[in-house]
A and B are shown apart, each in its own frame.
Chain A
Amino acid sequence: MLSRMLGQGTKRRFAVQALAAAVLLFAVSCSHGDGPYPSKELKLIVQASPGGISDTVSRFMGSLIEKDLGVPVVCENKPGASGALAFSYVARRAPDGYTLGHASIEIAIVRTLGYADVGPDNMGLICLVSKTPAVLVVREDAPWNSFGGFIAAAGKQRGGLILAHSGTGSIWHFNALLMEQAADIRVTYVPYGGTSRSLASLLGGHVDAVIAGTGEAIANVKAGRLKALAVLDESRSQLYPETPTSYELGYDFGAPAWSGFFAPAGVPDAILERLEKAFRKGFASSEWARLCRERGMEAVFMGRKEFREFALQEAAFFGREIPRLLTLER
């Protein structure tokens, strides 16, 4: 029928063409709105500056899920207030599954610190993809060759040893406070703005020990300039196969940092499931395994249900412990 109509006068042909174009446009715009998810570009909000580990994880995972979802994933950095700015920004977005966020461990902490009223309970958590435990390092010429030796020295002269970390309220600071509590010792803290600065002060001989992420300390440990006394986790780290864990040594503490992804609360479960599938596929790739190896992360996967439970536990733990630990320091 269409072809017969096309055969008649130019004016008519133009009208038909215009109509066809309109129908086509309408169809396209419909497929944008109601088509199968996802039908347009996804935005992934990163809570830290470009170049850091959170940014690398997000951009890398973003490019991996792009392949499965078939739409571009664009990362946007919104650093500030330990990530609270990014978390509350994502929480305020429409729950349509087109705005996602990178969930660092701070998502379970910022409410307790009072930076923003957000936490795992009002988020649509998708999955967890990696964990980074803390490691206690000292200089290679330090008199302590084991975690026990360090603890004994720190127990003898209370507050006598100086420990640097990446900043008051950071996860490595809390690991140090947990260590003090578990081993009943007292150390003197020197907070730095970031792990690399605290490691520099250790290498330069200005402080006695540092608690840092396993990946951040590995270069100087492998080079023999630093000694790793203990990995503060339940199981051994692939990066430090020789180093005992705190749990092995009989001190049940350790709060690894972790990386995951989340959406605003209220995203339909079908969309979360679709996203979880895409992330799971990305997680299983060899590229992801390589990145984890090279950046010193443990590749761990948790689906949305498991991650939710875990994150709520973490939030409850830090909500309970942080106020207590911070009074302990005074």
Chain B
Amino acid sequence: MTADLLAGLTAVLQWEVLLFLAVGVVLGAVFGSLPGLTATMGVAVLTPLTFWVSAEQGLAMLLGIYCGAIPAGGIPAILINVPGTPASIATSWDGYALSQKGQAGLALGINALLSAVGQLTSIFFLAVAAFPIASFALRFGPAEYFGLALFGISLMAGVSGERVIKGMLAGMLGLGIATVGLDPMTAYPRYTFGQSEFLDGISFVPVMIGLFGLAEVLIQISDRWGKLDQAPSKLGRIWPAWMEWKRMLPSTFTGAGIGTFVGAVPAAGGDIGSVIAWEQARRLSRNKEAFGKGSLEGLAASCSSCNGAIGGAMTTMLTLGIPGDAVSAVLIGALLIHGIQPGPLLFRDHRAFVFSIVFLMAFASVVMMVVGLLGAKPLARALRIPSPWLWAGIVMFGAIGSYALNNAVVDVWAMFVAGVVGFLLRKADVPLGPLVLGLILGPMMESNLRRALILSRGDWLGTLTSSSIVVFFMVATILSLLLPLLKKRRAG
């Protein structure tokens, strides 16, 4: 064990490997922080380049991109309310509010520090408990996925703030958009209007770029036009005070834990994990009202959970050979090129290599933390450039990035329509958080409910109470729907 640990460490403690790692982290930071470029895209584009270098060097670069992109996605979320990657949607809720209060520095600092905490926690889990986590992930059958999706959808009310009915309607819109395309079970085309471009449905990432990129630009024009000469908001201090650390601690670690487990479950990633962690932190907090208005606990939960998902996804990928999210799916391909077959045997036959991966990820998260802390000031200063320049950049990168995903013009139009509709919805005070939940969770809920019903052979109730995980999610769903009502009654 110790010998493997040392062998794994020495394999990565070479200057070429560390150089590749640093290059990867910086590239990842670029991919993550530009709306329109995602972590998946970065890893996918650079995978072919790693054909020609050693496994450690190639992986150093790819893992660097992965570990750099997710924290970097929080930077534009905090500074301009435009999440750089889908995983940082929840980061924008409190992060942007903080930076509007003149605490952009603190928000960027927390993002850098707690992203690293989230990553390191999940990497620690990967190193010591890979197989228990993997077997937990495997227990997710159709009924469990349905429970998870249902629970996620029950959070729609929670992330809607005061506007519960409109939030739920936005959620329904998300669920509706998600039904476009071939039916996941019978491959029957739905709402495709005979166009083969719609058979695979409306791509999620362009819609997200539209809702949070283009729509945000329009909102800012509407709110700030004619007032652009106002002094730019202050940066403030970067390092959190001791009291703030103490306040953030519980939500950081529950966030990292939730992120790790949700990330480990195949087909659920940091985007879902961070919304769940944010909502859990809100429920457990003594200061619920501050959530969404610049709560440090909320920011801590979202930063640590979307990064915790990295270690979780890697755990499932390495132990089972099954990707935990979109990035790890591409990473499997990269590993196979180097003759490394992820799966149970990897931990028996190539233990040193597994430790190499653990060390590479740990180094990458520390490097990214330093990059994030050092970059906070210059990045915040970059905001002093005139807003119209920034808006032009967001619209441009959003449009081209949407196209670059699948080289499909239909995705660009999806971005545009989502942007205009998202702007109008936000102007009408309809929250967009539930819409995103509906988009992500709709397909998961529908296909797994129908799978579960096939497996149930008529015994529907039995299936939905068959395992402790399902029962847990069902109870949690009912509680999350009932508790607000009970509280209202008690208050009224």
Instruction: Check whether chain A touches chain B (CB < 8 angstroms).
Output: yes
Interface residues in chain A, defined as those with a beta carbon under 8 Å from any beta carbon in chain B: 49-53, 55-56, 59-60, 63, 76-82, 84-85, 88, 113, 115-116, 162, 167-169, 188-193, 196-197, 199-201, 203-207, 218-220, 222-223, 225, 290-291, 294-295
In the bound complex, residues from chain A placing their C-beta under 8 Å from that of B228 are: none
Contact B322–A200 (Cβ < 8 Å): yes
**A80-B51 contact given A55-B333, A201-B141, CB 8 Å threshold:** no
Contact B140–A204 (Cβ < 8 Å): yes
In the bound complex, residues from chain A placing their C-beta under 8 Å from that of B332 are: 51
From 331 to 366 in chain B, residues with beta carbon under 8 angstroms from any chain A beta carbon are 331-334, 336-337, 339, 341-345, 348
Cβ of B186 < 8 Å from any Cβ of A?
Answer: yes
Within the complex, what minimum Cβ distance (angstroms) separates A27 from chain B?
A: 34
Contact A115–B406 (Cβ < 8 Å): no
Query: What residue in chain A is nearest B344 (Cβ atoms)?
Result: A223
**A115-B196 contact given A200-B138, A203-B320, A204-B139, CB 8 Å threshold:** yes
Cβ of B197 < 8 Å from any Cβ of A?
Answer: yes
Q: How far is the CA of A197 from the CA of B142 in the complex (A)?
A: 11
**A81-B345 contact given A51-B329, A168-B185, A206-B141, CB 8 Å threshold:** no
Q: How far is the CA of A205 from the CA of B141 in the complex (A)?
A: 8
In the bound complex, residues from chain A placing their C-beta under 8 Å from that of B322 are: 196-197, 199-200, 203
Q: Describe B's contact surface by its main secondary structure.
A: helix
| A-B CB contacts (within 8 Å), total count | 135
Contact for A225 among B45, B184, B336, B344, CB less than 8 A: B344
Query: What residue in chain B is nearest A52 (Cβ atoms)?
Result: B333
Q: How far is the CA of A56 from the CA of B332 in the complex (A)?
A: 11
Contact for A116 among B139, B196, B333, CB less than 8 A: B196
Within the complex, what minimum Cβ distance (angstroms) separates B5 from chain A?
A: 22
Cβ of B200 < 8 Å from any Cβ of A?
Answer: yes
Cβ of B451 < 8 Å from any Cβ of A?
Answer: yes
Q: How far is the CA of A105 from the CA of B71 in the complex (A)?
A: 40
Given A80-B406, A88-B196, A200-B140, 5 new contacts (CB under 8 A): A56-B333, A80-B199, A81-B200, A196-B321, A197-B322
| Number of B residues, CB within 8 Å of A | 50
For B48, B184, B334, B342, the residue with the greatest tally of chain A CB atoms inside 10 Å of its CB is B48
In the bound complex, residues from chain B placing their C-beta under 8 Å from that of A56 are: 333, 336-337
Q: How far is the CA of A116 from the CA of B198 in the complex (A)?
A: 12
Q: How far is the CA of A260 from the CA of B426 in the complex (A)?
A: 48
Within the complex, what minimum Cβ distance (angstroms) separates A294 from chain B?
A: 5
In the bound complex, residues from chain A placing their C-beta under 8 Å from that of B425 are: none
Contact B199–A115 (Cβ < 8 Å): yes
Contact A63–B199 (Cβ < 8 Å): no
Contact A50–B45 (Cβ < 8 Å): yes
Contact B266–A196 (Cβ < 8 Å): yes
Contact B406–A200 (Cβ < 8 Å): no
Within the complex, what minimum Cβ distance (angstroms) separates B140 from chain A?
A: 7
Contact B47–A50 (Cβ < 8 Å): yes
Q: How far is the CA of A190 from the CA of B321 in the complex (A)?
A: 21
In the bound complex, residues from chain A placing their C-beta under 8 Å from that of B185 are: 168, 191
Contact A168–B196 (Cβ < 8 Å): no
Q: How far is the CA of A84 from the CA of B348 in the complex (A)?
A: 42
Cβ of B454 < 8 Å from any Cβ of A?
Answer: yes
Within the complex, what minimum Cβ distance (angstroms) separates B89 from chain A?
A: 22
